Homo-oligomer: A and B are copies of this chain.
Amino acid sequence: MPPEVNGVSLGSVGPGSQSALRRDNVRRVVAVLGEQGPSTQAQLTRATGLSAGTVASIVKDLDSSGRVTLTPTTSSGRRALNIHLVDTGHVAVGLDIGRRHVRALVVTPAHEIVADVQRPLPLGHDAETGILAAREVMSKALEDAGRTHSQVLGAGVGLPGPYDPATGRIGSGAILPEWVGIDISEALSAALQVPVHVNNDANLGALAHLGWGDQETGENFVFVKIGTGIGTGLVMDSKLYGGYRGLAGEIGHTIVVEQGLVCRCGNRGCLETVASTSSMLRALAAAPHPPTTTDELVSAALSGDVATRRVVEDAGLSIGKVLGQMASLINPQTILLGGPLSDLGDLLLEPVIRGLLRHTVPEIGGTISVRVSGLRDRAEALGGAVSVLSAADPAELYGPVAV
């Protein structure tokens, strides 16, 4: 069967042909709907670079073959149709394993979060405990989402620490010292029985903002995870940047106090020794009503506790200083703060910005935007799911691409 010249239907002919071109265009439209979620035809035209006519014809075909649904919306005040990919049943799981918690998100290739489960972990848990807990929350989340194990495309797992893809292990500066030396990727694959993609949690937080954040970030931005550890994920020219060994972004071990406290990495006075949530809690131990968890710390600061606010401010200034030096080096357009302190809002943001502006060159400080991530403490697990979906070919999930 010859392909139609207007490209509305496709035969199966060789590469370089009209039909191969059409298949490729359909694939692009499906990929954008998966990455960016429900979109209007105008948005698809912009994002794919295809002509409005080509997009309209592809949408018509996807609709008549039941691959998308259309719902009325308004765009710039005009009536438009929002195009949603249908739910095929497939899901990606995002897992965020921290020092004190594990979280699972279940996400569809149609750009929908269908479950979100978390549970606490004992401080200092060994890798086996963490992996078992990850398996449990993943099962619970799949149950919540009404999906079966066989529908899981894979699990993207974020860990707080320098993860070396070459060895499958986390490095010695990690927040999970009990996990050092274990082939994490292998252990997780065996426990979860799905394909596993491991990455640093801050990298995954950054990845989530490529498609899921509502915030304008530009092509060069940084996601900062502030938690028990402090790390960054770097997006450069719209791509996650890992560096030579995938270890880029380790600002938690920038030394801010010469001869300061010894850090878990073996150095002294690293940023993490003064500005991680654990360091803040430790500093507050002598306060009249010391918070003992990150949640309590956030509540105390929000309710106006003077000691807590002071400790948060000092941590923010130190983080800002290091981010300012970072900005001088990589000149990002946007810095997004994430992690469990996100709810502090301006209480954290203001000293971070003050510290940053004091420690960066004026031309860079004057054009940078620093904000709290709109994805809050979900960014890392969400990025895990995104990493699975990016590795899958979303178009394949929607049956033969030629429509």
Binding site for B on A (CB under 8 A): 16, 162, 164, 171-173, 218-220, 232, 234, 236-237, 239, 241-251, 253-255, 265-267, 321, 325-326, 328-333, 358-364, 367-368
Given contacts A172-B362, A363-B162, contact A244 B265 (CB under 8 A): no
Q: Which of A162, A245, A330 has most chain B Cβ within 10 Å?
A: A330
Q: List 5 A-B pairs, Cβ < 8 Å.
A: A236-B236, A236-B243, A245-B364, A250-B331, A250-B361
Q: Which of A248, A255, A331 has the most CB of B within 10 A?
A: A331
CB distance from A393 to the nearest CB of B (A): 23
Task: Please state if A361 and B171 are interface contacts (CB–CB under 8 Å).
Answer: yes
Bound state CA distance, A249 and B325, in angstroms?
Answer: 10
In the assembly, how many copies of this chain are there?
2
Question: Least Cβ distance of A170 to chain B in Å?
Answer: 9
Chief secondary structure at chain A's binding surface: loop
Q: Which residues of B contact A266 (CB under 8 A)?
A: 362
Q: Is the CB of A329 within 8 A of B232?
A: yes
A171 vs chain B, min Cβ distance (A): 4
Q: A331 contacts which chain B residues (CB < 8 A)?
A: 242-248, 250
Give the docked Cα–Cα distance between A358 and B266 (Å): 10
The answer to whether B172 touches A363 (Cβ under 8 A) is yes
Beyond known contacts A171-B361, A237-B239, A250-B329: 7 more, CB 8 A cutoff: A162-B364, A171-B363, A234-B330, A236-B243, A241-B330, A244-B332, A251-B328
Interchain CA distance A247-B360 in the complex, whole Å: 11
Contact of A245 among B254, B358, B360, B367 (CB under 8 A): B367
A162 to B254, CA, bound (A): 24
